A and B are shown apart, each in its own frame.
Chain A
Amino acid sequence: MTPNYSPASNGARDEISELIETLNTTEQRLEELTGGEVDAVSDSQGHTFLLRRAQEQSRHAEAKKQAAILNALPAHIALLNQEGVIVSVNEAWRQFATANRLQGPDYGLGVNYLEVCDRARGAFSAEAREVGVGIRAVLDGTRKSYTIEYPCHSPTEQRWFLLTVTPLAEDRPSGAVVMHLNITERRCADDKIKRLAAIVDSSADAIISKSTDGLISSWNPAAETLFGYSAAEIVGRPMKVLIPPELSFEEVNVLAGFAPGELVRNLESIRVRKNGDRVDVSITISPIKNPEGDVVGVSKIIRDITERKQREAEVRFNAQRYRLLVEATTAIVWDTPASGEFEVEQPGWSAFTGQNFKEYRGWGWLKAIHPDDQRETAKVWSAAIESRSTYEVEHRVRARDGTYRNMMVRAVPILADDGSIRQWIGIHTDITEQRRIEQELKEAKVAAVVRENTQRYNFLADSVPLIIWTARPDGNLDYYNKAWFEYTGLTLEQTKDWGWGAVVHPDDLKLCVERWTRSFTTGKPYEIEYRFKRVNGDYRWFLGRATARRGDNGEIVQWVGTGTDIDGHKRAEAALRRTQTGLESKVADRTTELSKSNAALREENAERKRAETALQRQQDELRVLFDMIPAMIWFKDTENRILRVNKRVAESAGKSVEEIEGKPSVEIYPNDAARFYADDLEVMQSGVPKLEYVETLRNNTGDEHWVQTDKVPVRDAEGKVVGIVVMAQDITERKRTEAALHSSEIQLRQSAKMEAIGQLAGGIAHDFNNLLTVIIGRAQLLESRKDMTAPILRSVNLIHKTGLRAAVLTRQLLQFSRQQVLQPQIIDLNILVPEMQEMLRSLISEDIDLVIKLSKIGKINADPGQVQQVVMNLVVNARDAMPKGGKITIETSNIHLDEEYCANNGDSTVGPYVMLAVADTGCGMDEKIRARIFDPFFTTKEQGKGTGLGLSTVYGIVKQAGGSIYVYSEVSHGTVFKVYFPEVAGKVHSGGSSAVHSSIVGGGETILLVEDEEGIRELLSEILTSLGYTVLMAMDGEQAIRCSEDHKGKIQLLLTDVVMPKLNGKEVALRLHPVRPEMKVLYMSGYTNHSIVSRGVLDAGIEFLEKPLSPTSVAAKVREVLDRQ
């Protein structure tokens, strides 16, 4: 602002100076008063006075601010005066000017911009001049503003500028502001957008976008084509107008499913056109993001896939049709690569042949071709592959069921563009049926022709008044025509081959045979005159001729012959001769004829007689046969009258045949007739026989018999049912046998069951005995020690006792399993039982009477200890059945077991037995319990009272002794067990068992101990060593033999286990015997095999120690054996 003042006088100057002085003072004073915090003061008239500091500050601040703003702007700004001269520029202009070395050191200040524009040359001079015009228009006020975008490319880059010219003041011409803004970036972006837009616009796919509010925000021409909406119509409308209502869910939260980082998503769906049509589309959805990464919209690329869909559907349809075709056809469809090998699975082939993929893979399929066709198939197939031509062959293929089927094969190659085979597609068609029918037709045709020819020939042959015959080259005749049969009255069978000889007149036969033989052997024609016997018996003359029919090679294939009746001719000849020979011969002839007819008459009479006799005999035979049939037979009419019966019926009814025949059924069978008749009627009405049904029939004594009946309707010649034949077989006996068989089957099953359990138990017992030997032996050794305290000794005693009880149990197991070693001897039950009396009484309580009834009986052969066991077990059982007291009766007697008993009681044999019966008056048992009493571990006693082995043991012992048990029981009355032992002859063994050694005696001998169980070996060694013996130990047979070899001194005893791996006890003894013949042998075992025991009985001369062993028993037995001479 330019101060505006007029020149003043000196006085005035002074006054001004004074006023300024006052102003300064006043201002200073005001500053002081307001502490510098006040900017302006006002007087009461409202005149505001801005303090100088504030004024200066304001002024500077304004200018600085404006300069700062101008300089901060990125636009190049220049201020032009009214003439267009640059009067001021901003920082950006300066930099721009510097960079362009535009207008000298003052950055163009003072330059006339209009002239710059007008003077412009080069590429953009046109734009520059235009700018000049624009600036002038603004400067002279004809335009409010002027804007232009112009390119201003530097050699290195493309640049665009936006030039804006605005007047400095609105109301008066006072210059203008020129602003250049570099818009290169924007232009580039715009270009990019334009390019993109062009792409979008030219895209064949509809490309549309949606803003976050769900409205369509862009729409390209393809979208218009696809949907029918123009961009103007649709932009701004909701996207859902394009979506079928039922698919609206697709658009809900269309971006919600996008995983982080997922850019696009594809789906196939249906959209709606403007005209309402639906269109199949594929849609690619992607979110539109702003530079900050926020989703601001969604873009969609939509493609019309109607055609593709259709194509797909077509392809699908074709594939399905092809598959159905393959499935529906009975043919096998297959494909192979060029090589002709099966490389992928061929379901059709597999289904037909049953070959699996592995089998038919490669050339494996050839194996399913008939062996005779394989070579040809392979040849044709290889040729087809070679020539790339259609492959056609017929061969037989083995079907799944193993039969071969005729197949027509046709395969065509699919060629690739280069002419190579890409694939073979082949079809096997089953033409078996076709072939068969063809064959049949062919055969039928041939047969028809043959038949026709034959018929024609036969007709001819039969029509001629000649006998015609044919013969095979060997001279056997095989055909005659009708004339022959009519003449001879014979059948083909009778005259075939050489049968014709029978009708040749005996006088002619020899010549005839000679000639015929000569002809068919030489091939020369045959001719003869001979006589044949006519059916009525007389002979007529024939001229026989035959010629050979020859084959292509001259060989004879057939003889064809004829016989011509020349009898008339012959007769004429004869008559002539007879006339010539005279009367006598005539008379003679006559006489002969007469006698001939007489003879014929006689013959006829005899014949009739013979026929009558034969008939009679036949009738008699039938009657006998009728009666002999081992069944009752009735013949009844429809009225239930008995017309015929055989003898069996009469016997059963207790009447004679004559008494029965002709009577109504009800008269003979008053009780059963109605029942029988019901069945009869059924058969007669239905006409269907009723066979093999079982019913009862009461005989005359009233006994009911089981019969198996067959009823058959009888028909007359017209087929009308006129009666019924009933045949009944008495099967009562069979029924009885069946029942008996059933019962013995049960017995047998019981035996088998016991046997099986026995085997099992025996196996276990062996191991048990080994264990128990150690337990009992060790316990006994401990008991004998002096240093035992009382409490320990009690425990050891308990172990010992328990071990012994276990041993008893084991023995029982072995007993009933019949695997115990028996030492049977002849015993007398009448001695054995009374001896047990005391012991038995001690078993039963006071309120039970024990009665022993002995009869005179035979001896038995059994192990006495076991028989005692039987008695004891039975008595204990009887006792337990009578908790409230009663009576036990033990009885002995002889008995003969008959066939009936044996049949009903399993494996017993007929013969004399000794019976031991134990009867009680106890509770008895029902059938169910009785059936199980011998089962091991079956007990009716309380838990813990019985082992369930008592009766099983009895069973085992008795069976092993060859005996049998019979049980009879009645509930609440009692039970009786009858034990039968086979009776034997012989004397009772009186020696008894060897005395038990009361004291243990040792010795100094050497004993070879062989035992595979370590516990037992140690125990025995300890026992024997303590007794003073020298013990050599071996753990098996082989070691024992080595031991014997190594030991130089004597070995007095071999103590060996029987059952051992490798060599068993007996084998060891046999091996050592030759070396040490003086050595004695003592076996031990808890279980026996057949090496020393045959059939459960100890072989004679064998010393045996039964397990479980106890120190006492071992010591005693060893001493006994050693001492034995």
Chain B
Amino acid sequence: MSQPAQFKFRLYVADDAQNGAQAKSNLIALCRTYLPDRHEIEFVDVLLEPKRALADDIFMTPTLIKLSPLPTRRIVGTLSQIETVLRALGLEIAEQ
């Protein structure tokens, strides 16, 4: 059996704004539940690092990018609807 894939996320937020903070906590909770020990999250504040946002073509925050496994996915919002998020990340099948 192959090693379960390692998930790599990057979440863009703007300072401590409410939606970003919500997205942050939702993402952490989701990773703990569904991807324990196989995830990496990088938080990027667009106000502090606007160039990176530009490079990743971010025009709204909060935006989550799933960097791996491929394909890359982008999700905008507070990540409150967990099932939708899981589906978008291609995780619902893996979990069943």
Task: List residues of A whose CB falls within 8 A of some B CB.
Answer: 34-48, 50, 53-54, 57-58, 61-62
Contacts known (A39-B19, A54-B14); A46 close to B77, Cβ less than 8 A: no
Q: A42 to B17, Cβ gap below 8 A?
A: no
Partner of B13, one of A39, A42, A46: A39
Cα of A753 to Cα of B83 in the assembled complex, Å: 118
Q: B14 to A50, Cβ gap below 8 A?
A: yes
Cα of A38 to Cα of B22 in the assembled complex, Å: 11
Partner of B60, one of A40, A45, A57: A40
- B3-15 CB contact bits vs A (8 Å, 1 = yes)? 0000000000111
Main secondary structure of the interface of A (DSSP, over half): mixed
Q: B53 to A48, Cβ gap below 8 A?
A: yes
> Is B95 at the interface (CB under 8 A from chain A)?
no
Q: B61 to A40, Cβ gap below 8 A?
A: yes
> Is B47 at the interface (CB under 8 A from chain A)?
yes
27 CB < 8 A contacts A-B: A34-B76, A37-B19, A37-B62, A37-B80, A38-B19, A38-B60, A38-B61, A38-B62, A39-B15, A39-B62, A41-B61, A42-B46, A42-B54, A42-B59, A42-B60, A43-B59, A47-B50, A48-B14, A50-B14, A50-B15, A54-B14, A54-B15, A58-B15, A58-B16, A58-B17, A61-B16, A62-B16
Cα of A797 to Cα of B51 in the assembled complex, Å: 137
List the A side residues contacting B15 at CB < 8 Å: 39, 50, 54, 58
Q: B77 to A48, Cβ gap below 8 A?
A: no
CB distance from A29 to the nearest CB of B (A): 13
> In this complex, what residue of A is CB-closest to B13?
A39
Cα of A35 to Cα of B19 in the assembled complex, Å: 11
Residue of B15, B20, B51, B76 with most partner-chain A CB within 10 A: B15
Q: A39 to B59, Cβ gap below 8 A?
A: no
> In this complex, what residue of B is CB-closest to A39?
B17
Q: A54 to B54, Cβ gap below 8 A?
A: no
CB distance from B7 to the nearest CB of A (A): 22
> In this complex, what residue of A is CB-closest to B23?
A37
> Is B18 at the interface (CB under 8 A from chain A)?
yes
CB distance from B51 to the nearest CB of A (A): 6
CB distance from B37 to the nearest CB of A (A): 29
List the A side residues contacting B19 at CB < 8 Å: 36-39, 54
Contacts known (A46-B53, A46-B54, A48-B47); A37 close to B17, Cβ less than 8 A: no
Q: A48 to B50, Cβ gap below 8 A?
A: yes
Partner of A40, one of B17, B54, B77, B80: B17
CB distance from A960 to the nearest CB of B (A): 117
> In this complex, what residue of A is CB-closest to B76?
A38
> In this complex, what residue of B is CB-closest to A42?
B59
Cα of A512 to Cα of B52 in the assembled complex, Å: 180
Q: A42 to B78, Cβ gap below 8 A?
A: no
Contacts known (A40-B17, A40-B61, A48-B14); A35 close to B77, Cβ less than 8 A: yes
Q: B78 to A37, Cβ gap below 8 A?
A: yes
List the B side residues contacting A39 at CB < 8 Å: 13-15, 17-20, 61-62
> Is B58 at the interface (CB under 8 A from chain A)?
yes
List the A side residues contacting B13 at CB < 8 Å: 39
- Chain B's interface size range is 20 to 34
Ranked nearest first, the 4 interchain pairs of A and B with the lowest CB-CB distance are A39-B17, A40-B14, A54-B17, A46-B54
Cα of A57 to Cα of B21 in the assembled complex, Å: 12
Cα of A41 to Cα of B47 in the assembled complex, Å: 11
CB distance from B18 to the nearest CB of A (A): 5
- B62-96 CB contact bits vs A (8 Å, 1 = yes)? 10000000000000111010000000000000000
List the B side residues contacting A37 at CB < 8 Å: 19, 62, 76-78, 80
CB distance from A30 to the nearest CB of B (A): 9
Cα of A38 to Cα of B50 in the assembled complex, Å: 16
Residue of A37, A43, A62 with most partner-chain B CB within 10 A: A37
> In this complex, what residue of B is CB-closest to A62?
B16
Q: A54 to B60, Cβ gap below 8 A?
A: no
Cα of A50 to Cα of B17 in the assembled complex, Å: 9
List the B side residues contacting A38 at CB < 8 Å: 19, 60-62, 76-77
CB distance from A37 to the nearest CB of B (A): 4
CB distance from A59 to the nearest CB of B (A): 10
Q: B16 to A41, Cβ gap below 8 A?
A: no
Q: A46 to B17, Cβ gap below 8 A?
A: no
Contacts known (A37-B77, A38-B76, A57-B17); A46 close to B50, Cβ less than 8 A: yes
CB distance from B66 to the nearest CB of A (A): 18
Q: A42 to B53, Cβ gap below 8 A?
A: yes
CB distance from B61 to the nearest CB of A (A): 5
List the A side residues contacting B54 at CB < 8 Å: 42, 44-46
List the B side residues contacting A36 at CB < 8 Å: 19
A48-B46, A48-B50 given; 12 more Cβ-contact pairs under 8 Å: A34-B76, A37-B19, A39-B61, A42-B50, A44-B54, A46-B51, A48-B47, A48-B61, A50-B14, A54-B14, A57-B18, A58-B17
Cα of A891 to Cα of B89 in the assembled complex, Å: 141
CB distance from A387 to the nearest CB of B (A): 101
CB distance from A48 to the nearest CB of B (A): 5
> In this complex, what residue of B is CB-closest to A30?
B60
Cα of A61 to Cα of B78 in the assembled complex, Å: 18
- B23-57 CB contact bits vs A (8 Å, 1 = yes)? 00000000000000000000000110011011000
Cα of A44 to Cα of B53 in the assembled complex, Å: 10
Contacts known (A48-B46, A50-B47); A34 close to B60, Cβ less than 8 A: yes
List the B side residues contacting A35 at CB < 8 Å: 77
Cα of A41 to Cα of B80 in the assembled complex, Å: 20
Cα of A1040 to Cα of B53 in the assembled complex, Å: 143
Cα of A61 to Cα of B76 in the assembled complex, Å: 23
Residue of A47, A54, A62 with most partner-chain B CB within 10 A: A54
List the B side residues contacting A50 at CB < 8 Å: 14-15, 17, 47
List the B side residues contacting A54 at CB < 8 Å: 14-15, 17-19
CB distance from B79 to the nearest CB of A (A): 9
> In this complex, what residue of A is CB-closest to B22?
A37
Cα of A326 to Cα of B62 in the assembled complex, Å: 104
Cα of A37 to Cα of B76 in the assembled complex, Å: 8
Cα of A961 to Cα of B50 in the assembled complex, Å: 153
> In this complex, what residue of B is CB-closest to A43?
B59
Cα of A82 to Cα of B82 in the assembled complex, Å: 53
Cα of A544 to Cα of B58 in the assembled complex, Å: 181
List the A side residues contacting B14 at CB < 8 Å: 39-40, 48, 50, 54
Cα of A575 to Cα of B16 in the assembled complex, Å: 189
List the B side residues contacting A45 at CB < 8 Å: 54
Q: A41 to B60, Cβ gap below 8 A?
A: yes
List the A side residues contacting B51 at CB < 8 Å: 46
Cα of A46 to Cα of B13 in the assembled complex, Å: 14
CB distance from B93 to the nearest CB of A (A): 26
List the A side residues contacting B17 at CB < 8 Å: 39-40, 50, 54, 57-58
Cα of A35 to Cα of B23 in the assembled complex, Å: 14
CB distance from A33 to the nearest CB of B (A): 9
Residue of B19, B20, B58 with most partner-chain A CB within 10 A: B19
Residue of B50, B51, B59, B77 with most partner-chain A CB within 10 A: B59
Q: A40 to B47, Cβ gap below 8 A?
A: yes
List the A side residues contacting B50 at CB < 8 Å: 42, 46-48
List the A side residues contacting B77 at CB < 8 Å: 34-35, 37-38
> In this complex, what residue of A is CB-closest to B80?
A37
Cα of A58 to Cα of B61 in the assembled complex, Å: 14
Cα of A54 to Cα of B59 in the assembled complex, Å: 16
CB distance from B17 to the nearest CB of A (A): 3
Cα of A341 to Cα of B76 in the assembled complex, Å: 111
> In this complex, what residue of B is CB-closest to A34?
B60
List the B side residues contacting A46 at CB < 8 Å: 50-51, 53-54
List the B side residues contacting A41 at CB < 8 Å: 59-61
Cα of A61 to Cα of B22 in the assembled complex, Å: 14
> In this complex, what residue of A is CB-closest to B14?
A40
Cα of A57 to Cα of B16 in the assembled complex, Å: 9
CB distance from A127 to the nearest CB of B (A): 42
List the A side residues contacting B80 at CB < 8 Å: 37
Cα of A38 to Cα of B59 in the assembled complex, Å: 10
Cα of A384 to Cα of B15 in the assembled complex, Å: 110
CB distance from A936 to the nearest CB of B (A): 102
